[in-house]
Amino acid sequence: MQILMEAIIYDKLKWQICGDLKVIALLLGLLQGFTKYCCFICEWDSRARSLHYSRKDWPPSKSLEPGIMNVENQPLVESSKILLPSMHLKLGLMKDFVKARNQEDAFTYLRVKFPRLSEAKVEEGIFIGPQIQDLIKDEYFDKLLQGDKKAAWDSLKFAIKVFLENRRAQNYEELLNNRLQSYQKLGCNMSLKYTSFTHIWFFPENCAVSDEHGKCFHQEISSIEKRYQGKWNCAILADCCWTLARDVPTMEYKQ
């Protein structure tokens, strides 16, 4: 990762960075995997499950020094340059919603609605942005859900509408805190994606900036998956790079 940052001359350009939370953790030198302190903004304790849905005022992270609070390496970027990815949060909420399955009829319908998705992806709730939007507009799926599952689905749609899209409701912070409690009733463990909603001030004013980039990325990956039909090939990485290069007509190719 350090070699890549040097190749794009990041020290001079100082771009803002938006991406998968695991990649962000890697850039900031945090330990990978299920660590106790995995948030670079605050000292949220991922193992204090009894406090996850009740406590929201975790102490802010003072510094990212190697050897302290699960920081393994020297950060490659400044934490102030990080944009929390609204698209990634949306996918995480959808994934946890599907995995906490307790209504078989609704999830049998998902296999029918998305026949091109593999059984494993449906089981794990791995959907891309356009598929989630399509499902939100599906009234039949909405009728199949009941009880806590229905409340959690309404919360997901509500969070997307009032916060994760281009426009936000004026009282979105209060509304989000109340709505996400439905995930607790559903039995979902608190994750770093939920904790990000307590850092409202850290999001850009226009969340759609990162959302559009996330959609484009997943659409490109989806086309690569269809081309290779889930089979590994050493040409996949090169194919992906040339796809990106072809999208930039002014790029100069050097031997």
67 phi-psi bin (left φ>0, alpha ψ -120 to 50, beta other): left
Q: Which pLDDT value is given to residue 182? A: 81
The Cα–Cα gap between 129 and 19 comes to: 15
pLDDT of residue 118: 80
Q: How far is CA 207 from CA 75, 116, 192, 210, in A?
A: 25, 30, 18, 6
Tell me what pLDDT residue 173 has. Answer: 67
Give DSSP secondary structure letters for 85-97.
Answer: -HHHHHHHHHHHH
pLDDT one digit per residue (tens) for the chain, 255 residues: 888 888 888 888 888 887 778 888 888 888 887 788 888 888 888 888 888 878 878 888 877 888 888 888 888 888 888 877 777 778 888 888 888 766 677 788 888 888 888 888 888 888 877 888 888 888 898 888 888 888 888 888 887 777 776 666 666 666 666 667 788 888 787 777 777 777 766 666 555 454 555 556 666 666 777 777 667 777 777 777 776 655 555 544 444
Token reading at 132:
């989630």
**DSSP 8-state code for residue 174:** H
> Would you state the pLDDT for residue 4?
83
- In angstroms, the Cα distances linking 156 to 83, 149, 168, 197, 238 are 21, 11, 15, 13, 37
Beta-carbon count within 10 A of 226 CB: 10
pLDDT at 13: 85
pLDDT for position 254: 46
179: nearest Cα among 62, 59, 61, 93:
93
Residue 3 to residue 16: CA distance in whole angstroms: 18
